[in-house]
Structure formats: C-alpha cells, structure tokens
C-alpha cells in the first residue's frame, strides 16, 4: 500500500510536470503552494486516486483568476 505522503508527492509531481511541459507554470513557490494546497485538501476529503488528485489540481490551477503584476 502506498503511503499518504508518497501519494501526495506523486500527485504533485504529475501536476507540476504537466504544467511545466505546457509552459503554464507561474512563479515557482506560489505555483507549488497552490498545487500542494489543492491536492492536500482533496486528499483530506477522501480522494486517494493519484491521477484524480493531480488532474483536479491542474484544472484548479488553470482556472484560477489571472494575477496582474503591478
């Protein structure tokens, strides 16, 4: 059985690599926190499927409001 931290880490790596390959990643620290927060929240709600966790995080990242730089 896969450990919880391994599941979260693998889901994060999948989401990160997809967004990196498509050129959609923004500022690295902010992006990492956003993805991790989304994955952990869904995990806490009971989701344990790695691809669902990563795909939902990607979708949430893609649909976040655009941040304007001042």
Q: Encode pLDDT of 38-57 as tens digits.
A: 999 999 999 999 999 999 99
pLDDT higher than threshold 80 for residue 6: yes
Is 19 within the bounds of a domain?
Answer: no
Average pLDDT of 23-36?
A: 95
Is 7 within the bounds of a domain?
Answer: no
Is 17 within the bounds of a domain?
Answer: no
State how many domains the chain has: 1
Is 61 within the bounds of a domain?
Answer: yes
Domain carrying residue 43: 28-65
CA distance 66 to 3: 35
Is 10 within the bounds of a domain?
Answer: no
pLDDT class of 69 with cuts at 50, 70, 90: low
- The tens digit of pLDDT for each residue in 14-29 reads 999 999 999 999 999 9
Neighbours of 1 (CB within 10 A): 5
């Amino acid at each position: 059985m896969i450990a919880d931290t391994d599941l979260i880490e693998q889901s994060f790596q999948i989401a990160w690599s997809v967004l990196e390959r498509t050129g959609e990643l923004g500022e690295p620290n902010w992006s990492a926190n956003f993805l991790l927060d989304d994955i952990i929240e869904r995990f806490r709600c009971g989701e344990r499927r790695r691809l669902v966790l990563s795909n939902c995080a990607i979708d949430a990242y893609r649909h976040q409001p655009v941040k304007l730089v001042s």
